Amino acid sequence: MRVVKLAKKDLAQAAKKLQAAYKVFAPVKERDFHNFRLLGEGKEPDFDFANTRLSAKHIVYPQSEKMMRASLDPSQEEHHIYKEEEKDYSPRAILGIRPCDAKAYDLVRLNFDTPEYKDPYWTKSYEALTRVGLACTSPCSTCFCTTAGTGPHDESGLDIMLVEEGESLFAKIITEKGEALAQKAGWSAEAPEDAASILEKAKQAAEGAVTAKIETDKITQKKTVEIYDSNIWDDLAFACINCGTCTYLCPTCWCFDIQDEVVNKQTIRIKSWDSCMFPLFTIHGTGHNPRPNKVSRVRQRFLHKLKYYPEKYGIGIHCVGCGRCITQCPVNIDIRRAAKVMNEFEPVEACKV
Ligand code: SF4
Ligand code: SF4
């Protein structure tokens, strides 16, 4: 790994330069908040942000995506035979992604890229992406990344990590993909010899600034049937309106639905984000719904993120601590509180008579 130094003010210019070789996504200011957008056509990057309102998952996993189509016109050759949609998997780069959001791609990868099953749409987009992170200097009060298996300087999901230091940026080039991007951006000025200690100090300061936390250490020890059947869920779900906001903006939520839409004698198969918080998500063809009420849906969300996923994969919780679901839930449901209640849960002993 090598470290180069660049001027902070030159980052926006580098983003422009990179557009010759990549589709470049960066934070763009939209009214009072930022979101990752494809640069060009009037979209200018603005790196003066805490984090984006929506996560960056849509860059690999669009909210709605055409998968394949077939003609329904019998006069056409090969009618009623689905053909894959042509797609652009040319190199793309994301600049300024926060380390927690970058790490989230690798959590989601466990669902879309496995030895038994590969989602070609997700994997090709993921492989085309180079991730240039921007380490956090001032984490928000709702960020709890350091207790969610990541951190403000976590490099594990990144090809390059940018770290701010005054008016400069240190770029840690981590992977070959990162090296290729650094060369195209012209980032070559070697950092001074004391770069390692400057970066370590910045890391410790940023980690120390994360004061929020999530408590999950005892959840996998609970018996699933006991915590599932307990009455903790009535209270945790009480205010929920099943709007789905928490799942749509979460960088680690991956649920989707596939539907066929018929337009002009063509049928188009479309994959769209779905949410375990929606009543129709689990409804069967028979009309039976195994999660018929909001309590069962809220229970599913928290058990999946904090118990089922950790038990299945053994790599920690299905959450990177970005805090979006806390700040944007309209009724203030807080995953940290849910985790604490689950962590402290004890089954009620049966009466002995
Ligand atoms: S954002 Fe809040 S109210 Fe909406 S589904 Fe999620 S927990 Fe429920
Ligand atoms: S569950 Fe909430 S805090 Fe965790 S990654 Fe998703 S949106 Fe962020």
pLDDT in tens, 90-120: 999 999 999 999 999 999 999 999 999 999 9
Q: How far, in Å, from the CA of 206 to the mean position of ligand 2?
A: 19
100 vs 160: CA distance, rounded Å: 14
Cβ(317)–Cβ(335) below 8 Å: no
Instruction: Give pLDDT, residue 193.
Output: 83
Nearest CA to ligand 2 atom 5: 319
Give the atom of ligand 1 at the shortest distance from the alpha carbon of 328. Answer: 1
Nearest CA to ligand 2 atom 1: 319
Mean pLDDT across the chain:
95
pLDDT in tens, 138-147: 999 999 999 9
Give the atom of ligand 1 at the shortest distance from the alpha carbon of 242. Answer: 5
Two structure tokens written together for 236: 């945790």
For residue 11, give the amino acid letter: L
For residue 136, count CB atoms less than 10 angstroms from its CB and return exposed for 0-12, middle for 13-18, buried for 19 or more: buried
Residues 15-25: what's their mean pLDDT? 96
73 vs 84: CA distance, rounded Å: 18
- What are the pocket residues of ligand 1 if the criterion is a CB atom closer than 6 Å to any ligand atom? 240-246, 277, 329-331, 333
Instruction: Give pLDDT, residue 352.
Output: 67
The DSSP secondary-structure symbol of 225 reads H
Residue with tokens 């038994």: 116
pLDDT in tens, 114-166: 999 999 999 999 999 999 999 999 999 999 999 999 999 999 999 999 999 99
Give the atom of ligand 2 at the shortest distance from the alpha carbon of 148. Answer: 4
- What are the pocket residues of ligand 2 if the criterion is a CB atom closer than 6 Å to any ligand atom? 250-252, 305, 319-325, 335
Instruction: Give pLDDT, residue 42.
Output: 87
Which conformational region is residue 324 in: left (phi greater than 0), alpha (psi within -120 to 50 degrees), or beta?
A: alpha
pLDDT in tens, 210-247: 999 999 999 999 999 999 999 999 999 999 999 999 99
Ligand at shortest distance from the CA of 250: 2
DSSP H/E element including 42: none
Cβ(294)–Cβ(235) below 8 Å: no
Residues 264-287: what's their mean pLDDT? 96
Answer whether residue 349 shows pLDDT above 80.
no
